[in-house]
């Protein structure tokens, strides 16, 4: 049981996973193969008749099943998921194994999950380590509307941002970044990503209105991360707060007292057939990265359901030969993963998506870029009168 979870994928970071995918050797994920909480009566208690009365008893579990449930409990503990929320989480165990011969590609998700989060577990290590957490929100989920609003606003703000062309990992598509702290915008002392120059006054005014929402997004993202893992929030805050980071919250000065810890400083947005090389985000400070993924209408930026056949275009974790196929995601997907330490890749989209006139796939990742730290350290050495737009 679960023997097919033992797989690994060794590859050169400069090669694309698409070169290694054997489309006839793909193991899809079944909802019944996920680990669920043994205390969930709807899934793991069996009805038994005694004296014409129905009672419930827990089934006897195999040794392998008990082991996998133990791994799941360890992962939930490592993520600091409140015990009352354990039953809401499913888990998928994987292995990182040096022998890659005959190992199938593990593709998620050919099902419609019930808006519940899943932990992908690396069970090679003791204790087992979470590789990622993902949750898919369908249109009937209340969070779908809130996440959709944020996706629309981020795309509207990205219109006036300068495209990023110097990223060494990008193979195609469009990449932009928005700094959602005031010190990350053009003309400010800690500028990292700037707006386009020579914008009309009306464009700047509209853009500034959009930036007013970024504080709300910052708080909303923090709440979403905490709902998935308190430990991820602690890890990110500990990593960023030990550095000399400026406050730079929207509407506040660089020396303003920090209201709360910083988790992320900017968001990277990719569209228009974006795909990348295998890489780690080693220029980021944050231990965990939070990402949103959805198909969107190019004109309205509204999220739409997938209209494409499975094509292995998705978020790949090559070391585990594990891929989340975007075409199988009907809704908005949240993903948490250790992007700075785990190899990952956005694989190449099919031509039907690249050339589609109305739909593109949207990806965004919330990060704390090291460039922001470098600017902050420079500011710390200046006296307030010296701080200016030319820093």
CB atoms within 10 A of CB 187: 9
Q: Are 269 and 154 in contact (CB under 8 A)?
A: yes
Q: What pLDDT, on a 0 to 100 scale, did the predictor assign at position 39?
A: 44
Backbone angles phi, psi at 138, to 5 degrees: -85, 170
Give burial (CB, 10 Å; 0-12/13-18/19+) of 71.
buried
Predicted confidence (pLDDT) at residue 41 exceeds the cutoff of 60: no
Euclidean distance between CA atoms 345 and 326, whole angstroms: 13
Tell me, rounded to whole angstroms, the distance of Cα 209 from its chain centroid: 26
CA angle (387 as vertex; 381, 390 as ends), nearest 5: 110
Q: Are 282 and 369 in contact (CB under 8 A)?
A: no
Kindly report which listed range (54-58, 185-189, 324-328) carries the lowest average pLDDT score: 185-189
CB contact set of 90 (below 8 Å; sequence gap of 6+): 34, 35, 36, 113, 116, 117, 118, 119
Kindly report which listed range (136-145, 191-200, 211-220) carries the lowest average pLDDT score: 191-200
CB atoms within 10 A of CB 252: 17
Query: Nearest-CA neighbor of 6 among 93, 131, 120?
Result: 93
Q: What pLDDT, on a 0 to 100 scale, did the predictor assign at position 185?
A: 43
Q: Tell me the mean pLDDT in the region 131-154.
A: 92
Q: What pLDDT, on a 0 to 100 scale, did the predictor assign at position 30?
A: 46
Predicted confidence (pLDDT) at residue 358 exceeds the cutoff of 60: yes
List the domains of the chain with CATH numbers. Answer: 3-133 (no CATH), 142-386 (2.60.120)
Percent of the chain residues topping a pLDDT of 70: 67
Q: What pLDDT, on a 0 to 100 scale, did the predictor assign at position 16?
A: 45
Q: What pLDDT, on a 0 to 100 scale, did the predictor assign at position 129?
A: 81
Q: What pLDDT, on a 0 to 100 scale, did the predictor assign at position 49?
A: 46
293 bridge partner residues: 333, 363
Look up tokens 């030969």; give the residue.
321
Predicted confidence (pLDDT) at residue 181 exceeds the cutoff of 60: no
Q: What pLDDT, on a 0 to 100 scale, did the predictor assign at position 46?
A: 40
Please state whether beta strands 118-122 and 332-337 pair in parallel, antiparallel, or not at all (unpaired). unpaired
Higher-scoring residue by pLDDT: 215, 13:
215
Q: Are 159 and 204 in contact (CB under 8 A)?
A: no
pLDDT category at 298 given cuts 50, 70, 90 is very high
Q: How many residues does the chain have?
A: 391
Predicted confidence (pLDDT) at residue 244 exceeds the cutoff of 60: no
Task: Note the pTM of the prediction, 2 decimals.
Answer: 0.80
Euclidean distance between CA atoms 119 and 97, whole angstroms: 19
Would you list the DSSP string of 4-26? GGB------TTS-GGGT--TTSE
Predicted confidence (pLDDT) at residue 243 exceeds the cutoff of 90: no
Q: Are 324 and 109 in contact (CB under 8 A)?
A: yes
Euclidean distance between CA atoms 273 and 85, whole angstroms: 37
Q: Tell me the mean pLDDT in the region 59-87.
A: 84
Q: What pLDDT, on a 0 to 100 scale, did the predictor assign at position 361?
A: 98
Euclidean distance between CA atoms 365 and 377, whole angstroms: 24
Euclidean distance between CA atoms 332 and 122, whole angstroms: 25
Predicted confidence (pLDDT) at residue 13 exceeds the cutoff of 70: no
Q: What pLDDT, on a 0 to 100 scale, did the predictor assign at position 354?
A: 92
Residue 379: which H helix or E strand, with range?
helix 370-380
CB contact set of 278 (below 8 Å; sequence gap of 6+): 11, 12, 13, 14, 15, 16, 17, 316, 318, 343, 344, 345
Q: Are 320 and 336 in contact (CB under 8 A)?
A: no
């Amino acid at each position: 049981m679960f023997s097919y979870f033992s797989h690994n994928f060794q590859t050169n970071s400069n090669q694309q996973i698409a070169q290694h995918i054997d489309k006839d050797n793909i193991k899809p994920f079944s909802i019944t193969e996920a680990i669920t909480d043994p205390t969930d009566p709807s899934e793991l208690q069996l009805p038994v008749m005694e004296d014409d009365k129905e009672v419930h008893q827990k089934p006897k579990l195999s040794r392998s099943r008990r082991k996998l449930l133990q791994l799941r409990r360890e992962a939930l503990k490592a993520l600091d998921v409140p015990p009352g929320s354990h039953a809401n989480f499913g888990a998928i165990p994987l292995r990182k194994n040096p022998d890659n011969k005959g190992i199938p590609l593990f593709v998620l998700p050919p099902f419609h999950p019930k808006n519940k989060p899943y932990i992908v577990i690396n069970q090679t290590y003791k204790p087992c380590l979470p590789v990622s957490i993902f949750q898919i929100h369908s249109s009937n989920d209340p969070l779908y509307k809130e996440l959709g609003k944020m996706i629309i606003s981020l795309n509207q703000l990205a219109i006036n941002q300068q495209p990023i062309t110097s990223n060494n990992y990008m193979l195609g598509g469009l990449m932009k970044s928005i700094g959602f702290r005031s010190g990350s915008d053009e003309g400010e002392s800690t500028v990292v990503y700037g707006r386009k120059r020579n914008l009309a006054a009306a464009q700047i005014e509209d853009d500034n209105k959009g930036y007013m929402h970024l504080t709300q997004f910052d708080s909303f993202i923090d709440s979403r991360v905490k709902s998935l893992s308190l430990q991820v929030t602690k890890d990110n805050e500990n990593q960023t707060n030990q550095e000399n980071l400026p406050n730079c919250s929207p509407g506040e000065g660089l020396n303003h007292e920090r209201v709360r810890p910083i988790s992320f400083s900017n968001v990277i947005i990719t569209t228009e057939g974006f795909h990348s090389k295998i890489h780690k985000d080693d220029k980021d400070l944050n231990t965990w990265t939070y990402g949103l993924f959805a198909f969107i209408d190019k004109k309205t930026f509204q999220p739409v359901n997938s209209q494409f056949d499975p094509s292995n275009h998705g978020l790949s974790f090559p070391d585990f030969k594990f891929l989340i196929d975007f075409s199988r995601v009907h809704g908005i997907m949240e993903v948490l993963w250790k992007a700075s330490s785990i190899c990952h890749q956005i694989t190449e989209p099919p031509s039907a998506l690249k050339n589609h006139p109305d739909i593109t796939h949207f990806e965004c990742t919330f990060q704390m870029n090291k460039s922001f730290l470098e600017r902050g350290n420079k500011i710390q050495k200046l006296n307030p009168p010296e701080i200016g737009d030319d820093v």
